[in-house]
Amino acid sequence: MNQKDGENRQIPHLVIEAAQGWSPLELGDLWRYRELFLFLIWRDLKVRYRQTALGVVWAVLQPLGNMLILAILFGRLARLPSDGVPYPLFVFAGLLPWTFFANALGSAGGSLVGSTHLITKVYFPRMIIPAAAVLAGLVDLLISLLVMGGLMAWYGAVPGRSLALLPVLILLTTITALGVGMWLAAMQVKYRDIRYVIPFLTQFWMFATPVIYPASLVPEHLRHLYFINPMSGLIEAWRVALLGEVKGGQFDWTSLGTSAVVATVLLIHSAYTFRRMERHFADLV
């Protein structure tokens, strides 16, 4: 090969460009990189419990410890209503999806900043980083569901046919966590203050959600605003699914439908926002 041929030879390269307007999200890339996606989930699980004495037991202790504290403060002292079921069962059924959601926001929010070594060296769909952080939390959720089963057996609570909707509720909760977590991850790349905002946001959001109290305490004229929060309708539905005695095993389909619509719109908006910001990640992380 002479010098001229060498100069004319083109070196293949890949340019990452932000999506224009409402252009496709190119979700097919997520499938092509599925092996990396599964690896990142496994990595997040290992990192979470690496060098811990109790390992995955923390997945049980966190919601169980919170349940005991809340049951004493709000069940015995404040005597909040619990829709006719024992307050420990009531609050634990709310803490299951909430703990998953709150942990997902924390993990996904800092996932891009914590993966600088990957983002700056190799191309892959950046969306799979916060998605892997969220989905890794499903393992903790499934373990906590076993504890919920033990508590229900202790109190003699028997789930009804509404339990069949639980997989749908897990999916909707995951969609909500992914929508918020993906948006927070993109924002934290540009604004590092977000990592300080996330704990405050989750704490405030918890009290705006029926985790420790029933939604029936919310005044009727505020219900239409209250259920714009997608976690409100979802947690109410979780309780009905797990505890057949709550509300006679009848779902509030209006609030659940509102939560599903808001969660879906939130995920779509976050995905497009993420794609538009993606081109700058390697320069900012």
pLDDT tens digits, 110-139: 999 888 888 888 778 889 999 999 999 998
- Split at pLDDT 50, 70, 90, the class of 211 is very high
The residue ranking higher by pLDDT, 46 or 186, is 186
The per-residue pLDDT for 16 is 54
Average pLDDT, the chain: 85
Looking at residue 107, its pLDDT comes to 92
Q: Give the tens place of pLDDT for each residue, 146-159.
A: 999 999 999 888 88
pLDDT of 3 over the 90 cut: no
For residue 15, the model assigns a pLDDT of: 58
Report whether pLDDT(18) > 60: no
CA distance 187 to 112: 10
| Comparison of pLDDT for 33 and 248, the residue scoring more | 33
Asked if the model's pLDDT at residue 232 lies above 90, the reply is yes
Q: Is 245 helix (H, G, I), strand (E, B) or coil?
A: coil
pLDDT class of 22 with cuts at 50, 70, 90: very low
Average pLDDT over residues 221-238: 92
CB 271 within 8 A of CB 182: yes
Q: How confident is the model at residue 21 (pLDDT cuts 50, 70, 90)?
A: very low
Q: pTM for the complete prediction?
A: 0.87
SS3 92: helix
Residue 71 has which token pair? 């049951």
Share of the chain above pLDDT 70, in %: 86
* CA-wise closest residue to 101 among 7, 192, 232: 232
The answer to whether residues 105 and 181 touch, using CB atoms and an 8 Å cutoff, is: yes
- Note every long-range contact of 224-227, with CB atoms under 8 Å and residues 24 or more positions apart, other chains counting: 227/254, 227/255, 227/258, 227/259
Ranges of each domain in the chain? 27-284
